[in-house]
Amino acid sequence: MGLILKTILTSKSIYVPERAVNVVLTVPKKFLSEPYELQDDAVIHGEILEIEEIGKEFKADEIIGKEIELILRLGYIGYDDWLYFSRDSWPLLRDYGILPEHFIITVSLKEIRTDEETVEIYPKRDVVV
């Protein structure tokens, strides 16, 4: 179970977390940071469900099901927050040439890890954005 998010890979050049790269998933605040009362730099763990190249056929079956780590940055204006790929997870996409603005990714966000605890995201059912 978890938060199922389908979004385009983008890049935001401002406020990239220290342990992350400038490759971002956008997630509405009302589905993650607000209900779980998260702060900047929360670590989110998930799994890649699907990757599509915009306007082209693309296959990278080897990365479907792979775990990823994302670092949260709260969007202080508007309705969205940003999930930056960690430096550890980025090579998984980079090595296949999966780059911002050219790919749509579907992920299942499964848990939040902080220094104090690990919390499952929507453990009772899948919530789809």
Written in H, E and C, the secondary structure of 46-60 is: EEEEEEEECCCCCCC
Mean pLDDT of the chain: 94
Higher pLDDT, 12 or 109: 109
Q: What is the structure's pLDDT at 88? A: 97
The answer to whether the beta carbons of residues 121 and 111 sit under 8 Å apart is yes
Distance CA 104, CA 111 (A): 22
Total of domains in the chain: 1
In sequence order, the 6+-apart residues with CB closer than 8 A to the CB of 116 are none
The answer as to whether 127 is a domain residue is no
Distance CA 73, CA 26 (A): 10
Boundaries of domain holding 38? 3-121
Assign 15 a pLDDT band (cuts: 50, 70, 90): confident
The answer as to whether 44 is a domain residue is yes
Q: What is the pLDDT of residues 56-102, one digit of tens each?
A: 998 889 999 999 999 999 988 889 999 999 999 999 999 999 999 99
The answer as to whether 126 is a domain residue is no
Amino acid found at 87: R
* For residue 14, pLDDT beyond 80: no
The answer as to whether 90 is a domain residue is yes
Assign 38 a pLDDT band (cuts: 50, 70, 90): very high
The answer as to whether 28 is a domain residue is yes
The answer to whether the beta carbons of residues 31 and 44 sit under 8 Å apart is no
With a pLDDT cut of 70, the percent of the chain lying above it is 99
**Count of other CB atoms within 10 angstroms of residue 47:** 15
Q: What is the structure's pLDDT at 106? A: 97
Tokens matching residue 30: 């009302």
